[in-house]
Amino acid sequence: MKDYASCTDESLALQYIEGDNKAFDELLARNQQKLYSYIMFVVRDPEVANDVFQETFVKVITKLQEGKYIDSGKFSFWLTRIAHNVIMDNFRQQKSAHIIEPTEDNDLNKLSGDDLMDHNRENEYVNSQILDDVRHLMDTLPATQREVVYMRFYQELSFKEIAEMTGVSINTSLGRMRYALINMRRMAKQHSIQLNLEL
């Protein structure tokens, strides 16, 4: 009997391509919780999240069977990218009229990292009410902006990694973060929510 637990995700994917269905079962078991959490955070609806999750794995199976997976050592990136594409397909027609979105040709080269977020370690200590308010504000962002905030702050990915996983340029990733912050600040001001950090 094969010891699937000692195999990498990439190895399991290749074994599945060669006809080993149990390798895929192990791959699914390893990745389903993390992938579902990511999808749920972006779509904010369990029914939609389930649909996206199922459609993602149907696409994964199809792409594997068609030989469209190449072992690059980043199976989880490949998986998340497929999920991202499925999410974007679902949200494509649901643009909010009151949310600022960057244009495709938006040039953000001149922005420095300091303009986008404050890296001071002291800012990690915020009180729970402020974090609660921030989560509520994030829920109102468009999917593309909510996704980049999730990947940056919850998954601690770099903007380069976010760009690779979502299939956009680094500038677009930076732009989405910037617009997410602008929108959250605007909504906080509209609703008189205090977002000062506790030092």
Average pLDDT over residues 136-159: 85
Cα distances (Å, whole numbers) of residue 2 to 15, 19, 20: 11, 14, 11
Higher pLDDT, 128 or 132: 132
- The model's confidence at residue 72, banded by pLDDT at 50, 70 and 90, is confident
- The model's confidence at residue 31, banded by pLDDT at 50, 70 and 90, is very high
Higher pLDDT, 48 or 197: 48
Residue 82 near residue 54 (C-beta atoms within 8 A): no
**Residues 102, 91: Cα–Cα separation, whole Å:** 16
Residues 6+ apart with CB under 8 A from 182: 100
Average pLDDT over residues 123-141: 64
Is this structure's pTM higher than 0.75?
A: no
Average pLDDT over residues 28-39: 93
Tokens standing for residue 199? 């030092």
Tokens standing for residue 25? 């079962």
Higher pLDDT, 89 or 12: 12
Average pLDDT over residues 159-169: 89
Average pLDDT over residues 115-141: 58
